[in-house]
Amino acid sequence: MSNLLQEHDFKFQKKYGQNFLQDVKIPRRIAMECTNFTFPDADALPQKKAETLILEIGPGAGILTKELAKRFEKVVAVEIDTSLEPVLKDALSGFDNVEVVFSDIMEINLRKFLDSKRKTDDGRTLAVSVCANLPYYITTPIIMKLLEEYPDFDFITVMVQKEVALRLCTSAGTADYGAITAQINLYGKAKRLFTVPSGCFYPRPKVDSAVIRIELYKTQTYTQKEISLTSKIIKQAFLMRRKTLANALCEVYPLISKQRLGQIIAQTLGTSEQVRGEALTTQQFCELAKALDAIE
């Protein structure tokens, strides 16, 4: 990988948070574990590729892209750094099932973009999953965009900072539990797969990473209205996490007194009026959101 970058005189750009994997064993494992499709052992490629379109965000030098292309029918890689074009053209020259799109993923209409890409020439519609090594600085916005804009994903498998992975996969009532955790649970369940030491990257970051997989609900667990109402409460609860939930919600429900909010919380959830948001599960947040919506 480093030789390829040197050949094309590639310069890393800090603004994109670029840390590229250099140990092929890691992307190979990520590719094998990014969906529930069963592959043979790591070195034995499947006789037939999984009928899945993989959206990769930030392919970098293409080391993960190649492993995905070996196992899945189609890979669409979105890369913001146009200076990587010659690198990726060289790295992926042997794969005819990869399309590299140079764009900012945050500016792409995922519904329009992916619905067209998942159609095959023989009339099939491919399943769609995400597999990516996300830049640390924009991890949460990308994950929320994926969840909010394209509910048809089967899995979202991403490598993130290790501490972020702990937050994304934890449970209510723990120290790592936060707004992003509760919001992810509106769409699916996150599971931590494995840790990736910092030495597996170039340039080497200061912290370790971890790979997580979010399996989206196959049937609709929450309606779009419930998601909207619940997200508003979750964000406010963790914006002021040191306050009681009743205190925190006063700003978004100004017509309901703090005392009445406490009563509604206790009656709806069977908890103390002094409960804090970090103690609530996503389901409890949803129940509270519906109760408050019925009063307003």
Choose which CATH entry (2.40.160.20, 2.40.50.140, 2.60.120.260, 3.40.50.150) describes domain 2-216. Answer: 3.40.50.150
Domain with CATH 3.40.50.150 in the chain: 2-216
Give the model confidence (pLDDT) of 123-178 as tens digits.
Answer: 999 999 999 999 888 999 999 999 999 999 999 999 999 999 999 999 999 999 99
Choose which CATH entry (3.40.190.10, 1.10.8.100, 1.10.3720.10, 3.40.109.10) describes domain 224-295. Answer: 1.10.8.100
Give the torsion through C-alpha atoms of 85, 143, 112, 230, to 10 deg.
Answer: -170
The token pair that represents 285 in the structure block: 């947040």
Q: What is the pLDDT tens value at each position of the chain, 296 positions in all?
A: 567 767 777 777 777 778 888 888 999 999 999 998 888 776 677 778 999 999 999 999 999 999 999 999 999 999 999 999 999 999 999 899 999 999 999 999 999 999 999 999 999 999 999 999 998 889 999 999 999 999 999 999 999 999 999 999 999 999 999 999 999 999 999 999 999 999 999 888 899 999 999 999 998 899 999 999 999 999 999 987 788 999 999 988 999 999 999 999 999 999 999 999 999 999 999 999 999 999 86
- Residue 187 CA from chain centroid, whole number: 11
How confident is the model at residue 40, as a pLDDT?
75
How confident is the model at residue 4, as a pLDDT?
76
Burial of 173 from C-beta contacts in 10 A (0-12 / 13-18 / 19+): exposed
B/e letters for 245-258, b = 16+ CB within 10 Å, e = fewer, are bbebbbeebeebee
Q: How far apart are CA 190 and CA 50, in angstroms?
A: 22
Give the model confidence (pLDDT) of 250-280 as tens digits.
Answer: 988 999 999 999 999 999 999 999 999 999 9
Q: Which of 78, 4, 63, 79 is nearest to 31 (CA)?
A: 63
Domain with CATH 1.10.8.100 in the chain: 224-295
Q: Is the pTM of this model over 0.85?
A: yes
